[in-house]
Amino acid sequence: MANQEDHFKNLISHCKEYGFIFQSSEIYDGLSAVYDYGQNGAELKNNIRTFWYKAMTQLNENIVGIDAAIFMHPTTWKASGHVDAFSDPLIDNKDSKKRYRADQLIEGAVEKIEEKINKEVEKAAKRFGETFDAAMFRSTNARVVEYQQKIDAVNARFKKAQEENDMEELRQIIIDLEIACEVSGSRNWTEVRQFNLMFSTQLGAVAGDASTIYLRPETAQGIFVNYLNVQKTGRMKIPFGIAQTGKAFRNEIVARQFIFRMREFEQMEMQFFIRPGTQTEWYNHWKETRMKWHRALGFPETKYRFHDHLKLAHYADAACDIEFEFPFGFKELEGIHSRTDFDLRNHEAFSGKKLQYFDPDYTGPQNSELRKTQTDDDWKDNHSYIPYVIETSIGLDRMFLAILSHSLKEEKLDDGSERAVLNLPPFLAPVKAAVFPLMSKDGLPEKAREIMDLLKYDHNCVYEEKDNIGKRYRRQDAIGTPYCITVDHQTLEDNTVTIRERDSMQQERVSIDKLAAIIDERVSLKSALKRIV
Ligand code: ATP
């Protein structure tokens, strides 16, 4: 873990040193949990966004994209449940004054017990060697069974307390688990209070409750309120999806771990509208499809896992996360939620506008509330319903962090020197190729400029002639440039250049006529997209 901590610190300074991420308003000492993307970060972020957006809209004929405003009518957030329920339980340590999320304290304590179990299993595996049966050990070893019972008991209390909004019980669980503040070491806790995470502001010049609006805490609602507009103008047939990327804002209680949890961040969300009753099938479809998208990056499969939600959000009938192994452990990267007709049903109720879909082959209740009490027979002549929704929701910044944390490597080279290299999937790299004249004389710069002109209309390329070639390679390695093209004296004679590949550092000599096609094939998004379908 110490190593991972160092790796994480190293990553944060690498991001700053190479123009990926800066603290917001750094000259004023920064603003807590808000970050700016620099020249390389903005490119990488754009490429990740494009990869997501194209995978959604280009690979699926029935998914279209929109770009809704950040400000929305305030009733939106009443209908969605955010005004009443989008809050986190907050608790302070009286001695250190440090603020925590009560749910995260409990989850952290449970994780610690899980770690103890894992240690026991590892120890036993070493002792018993090949004949070791982990499942058997877990179900029979007295100590492990005791730990597991403790976890189950805590989880059961935790789930109930969350469902019943029982803040006292949450505090009691923290006391019973003997959780101490990491700063003061004391167990001197305040009461647990609910804290709404939405930022509010005023629209126009008139102050007062009537003009209070919110910065959207998720992009999803912009999709729901446009459901009918898109369905009608795009003549969409169910099942179909609407995708959107954009900023979201949450006044997080504990914002930390760099860009993992920010107060201003970007989401990439897709809402897939389906017939009631088909949600399990589509939920499984999107779980699988989203995992394929992640795997198209070529990272080890063991970096990802599914985690089913213990407590379902107020709108969901099934939900899971795709977790990624960050330097600080497995954490949520993306959520996949079966949201039923919760959102559209509420928007229908609050707006008074019908948000139903006419489906001639459907016979059944109009919405999920009626489904609970009535049978399909009661609705033989009904062919309209409020669609159910499967949502996939991923944080662009979190994806950025996942990619960077896996790609940054410190390598010792054969000659004893060291290099920092970002082995990003080439299609995501901020710069696809760097073009170098070996020396800045003898007509080499002019020839190198010709190569820039050959490539720059298709890809983001850079031209560099400062410093010796070794230094120039290192700078490109550190920002993840997959190919460096060098123009030397031989180029002037036979029209060939060397291409040096970032990871292997191997060089090959190729004819300039073939250069554009070679680079194109190796850095294009196309092959990554092909891995998804
Ligand atoms: P968490 O449990 O980590 O607070 P969440 O379950 O509230 O996340 P969702 O509301 O499902 O998250 O949001 C979908 C995605 O948006 C998350 O999977 C995550 O990638 C991203 N996300 C949510 N909150 C933040 C944040 N404060 N900073 C960066 N990304 C975020």
User: What spacing in Å lies between the alpha carbon of 286 and ligand 1's midpoint?
Assistant: 18
Q: Identify which of 398, 399, 400, 401 to mutate to test ligand 1's pocket (most ligand atoms within 8 A of the CB).
A: 398
- pLDDT the model gives residue 364: 85
For 285-290, the CB contacts below 8 A with 24+ separation are: 285/390, 286/336, 286/390, 286/392, 287/320, 287/336, 289/532, 290/322, 290/334, 290/336, 290/392, 290/394
d(CA 219, CA 248): 6
What would the two tokens of residue 211 be?
Answer: 């003009």
Which residue's C-alpha comes closest to atom 7 of ligand 1?
335
98: its two tokens: 């440090």
Output the residue whose Cα is nearest ligand 1's atom 23: 395
How confident is the model at residue 161, as a pLDDT? 94
User: Three-class SS of residue 196?
Assistant: strand
Taking CA atoms only, the protein residue closest to ligand 1 atom 13 is 393
Identify the segments of the chain with pLDDT beneath 50: 1
CA torsion, points 217, 219, 220, 222, in degrees to nearest 10? 110
Pocket test for ligand 1, best of 32, 48, 393 (most atoms within 8 A of CB): 393
Query: Residue 516 is which amino acid?
Result: A
Query: Under CATH, which number does the domain 413-530 receive?
Result: 3.40.50.800
Tell me, in angstroms, the distance from the centre of ligand 1 to residue 216's CA: 13
Nearest CA to ligand 1 atom 26: 261
- pTM of the prediction? 0.88
Ligand 1 centroid to Cα of residue 292, in Å, is 20
Superfamily designation of domain 40-71+216-402: Bira Bifunctional Protein; Domain 2 (3.30.930.10)
Give the pairing type, strands 99-101 and 304-308. unpaired
Q: CATH number of the domain at 87-195, please?
A: 3.30.40.230
155 Cα to the center of ligand 1, angstroms: 21
Taking the CA of residue 88 as reference, the ligand 1 atom at the shortest distance is 4
Closest-CA residue, ligand 1 atom 8, reads 332
Helix (H), strand (E) at residue 273: strand 264-274
**Cα of 187 to ligand 1 centre, how many Å?**
29
The Å distance, Cα 397 to ligand 1 centre, comes to 10
Question: Does the N-terminal peptide bond of residue 239 adopt cis geometry, omega within 30 degrees of 0?
Answer: yes
Q: Which atom of ligand 1 is nearest to the CA of 332?
A: 18
Ligand 1: residues with CB < 6 A are 218, 250, 252, 261-262, 265, 267, 332-335, 393-395, 397-398
Beta strands, E only, 355-414:
357-358, 384-385, 388-395, 408-412
Which atom of ligand 1 lies closest to the CA of 393? Answer: 14
For the chain, domain boundaries = 40-71+216-402, 87-195, 413-530
Nearest to 291 by CA among 273, 281, 279, 303: 303
